[in-house]
Amino acid sequence: MRVFLIVIAALLGACGPAPEPVKPATADPAGEPWYRQAVEELAAMNRESEELFRRKKHDQAAAIIAKAQPLAKRLLSVPRTTLAAMQSVSDLDDLYGRMLLANGHYGWARLFFQKNVARWKNWQPQTEDSISRRKLAESQLAECDRRIATN
């Protein structure tokens, strides 16, 4: 009888709720080495494509911009994007917008400038750089609107 009671007690004890799984600590991806390397890589791609754009090598610049898009998306996917990453992504969108504007694709250019307006309007803390970047994007938006209205 004792054995029976011990077995019943063990079975009843096993029916309790499972313990909560231990949640691993999540590190801030923006502090990881890959993130810093990706920011540097995007900044280098921006410089190269900007130079190609100035030298009127638009196809080569566009190829670099297309290659940089997944990297920019990855940088923005982290919960707390760094200022350096935001600046690099903003520079990429600015160049792409200017290329589209130069090619007469005003609506698409407007989209990229609008992203920069929203990006810098919501950036905290506001700095002279973020304000000047927002104002530049707003003036580029106005230029797109002017060109759309005259077509």
At the top level of CATH, which class does the domain 33-150 belong to?
mainly alpha
Burial class (CB in 10 A: 0-12, 13-18, 19+), 98: middle
Cα 101 to Cα 105: distance, rounded to the nearest angstrom: 6
pLDDT in tens, the chain (151 residues): 665 555 555 555 556 566 677 666 567 899 999 999 999 999 999 999 999 999 999 999 999 999 999 999 999 999 999 999 999 999 999 999 999 999 999 999 999 999 999 999 999 999 999 999 999 999 999 999 999 999 8
Cα 8 to Cα 57: distance, rounded to the nearest angstrom: 81
Q: Which amino acid is at 17?
A: P
Please report the pLDDT score of residue 58 as a whole number. 95
Give the 3-state secondary structure of residue 88: helix
Query: How do the domains of the chain map onto residue ranges?
Result: 33-150
pTM (predicted TM-score): 0.81
